[in-house]
Amino acid sequence: MKAFVRASLICILLAALGVLPAYAGQKIPEKLTYNLSWTCFPVGKAEQEISDKGDSIKIASSARSNDWLSTFFPVDDRTESILDKVGPFPGRTRNFKMLFKEGRRVRDREIRFHPQEMNALFLDHKNGDQIEIALEPETFDIYSSFYYVRHQPLSPGKSLYINVLDSKRLHRLEIRVLRKERIKVPAGEFNTLVIEPMVKPEGVFEGKRGAYIWLTDDERRIPVKAQTQVTVGSVTAVLTGGNY
């Protein structure tokens, strides 16, 4: 049960793929809403909202279990990424926070990025751990990494590689572009590009593989669907609406 619930919270990845337009010329804020399901059973909802804070960008997401699941395993997950409008789009990460409440388990973590010193400080507010981590040039948090990917040329059969810090270790993450596909979700019918971030299968990505993401095959690259395989069945998020 815990495995599929954590996997259902792929809103983090969806938030990372959220619709954040260029610094100028397009509207912010934007908000996306998703239904989350395990196999054919609805388990909750997710939201992402992007806002302009003057010299920075804020990307926030939340996921909550529905009434049925909350009766025996309540879930309330929240994440926040703050980026400076510096360097490659969507900017340079300043701070990343996550607060996950899943059943009796609570995770309260933060990463403070210091790009000029080429390091970051990982903080576990639950157990008091503090770990300094060396950065590579253009290291992204898990949110901004996919904003960056969305604004790169994407062609089926090709991969992109980026530096991502989402926990205590820096990863060289491969993003595979698999194919084009037309799909239908509650928000409508779309031509999409299917990508596969080769994430480590743990936490929100716990399962047999990472996740598959369907992005609209246009300049917006809206994430309209995400899916991950778990021990039993699969968990899916589908776009239901929002302001985009």
The per-residue pLDDT string of the chain (244 residues; one tens digit each, 9 = 90 and over) reads: 443 334 444 444 444 444 333 443 345 788 999 999 988 899 999 998 888 899 899 999 899 999 998 999 899 999 999 999 988 777 899 999 999 998 999 999 999 999 999 999 999 999 999 999 999 988 999 877 877 887 789 999 999 999 999 888 898 999 999 999 999 999 999 999 999 988 754 443 344 456 899 999 998 888 999 998 777 778 899 999 998 8
Token pair of 83 as six digits: 């980026």
The residues with which 189 forms a beta bridge, in sequence order, are 184
Q: Which of left, alpha, beta for 131 (phi over 0: left; psi -120 to 50: alpha)?
A: beta
- pLDDT given at position 91: 82
- pLDDT given at position 7: 40
- pLDDT given at position 168: 87
Nearest to 212 by CA among 167, 173, 186, 176: 176
- pLDDT given at position 164: 93
Around Cβ 43, how many Cβ atoms within 10 Å? 25
Task: Report the C-alpha gap between 82 and 53 in whole angstroms.
Answer: 9
- pLDDT given at position 118: 96
Cα-flanking dihedrals φ and ψ of residue 4, to 5°?
-75, -30
Cα-flanking dihedrals φ and ψ of residue 229, to 5°?
-80, 135
- pLDDT given at position 187: 97
- pLDDT given at position 235: 85
- pLDDT given at position 38: 86
- pLDDT given at position 24: 38
Helices assigned H by DSSP within 26-85? 67-70
Q: Which sign, positive or negative, has the C-alpha torsion 199, 204, 207, 212?
A: negative
- pLDDT given at position 209: 55
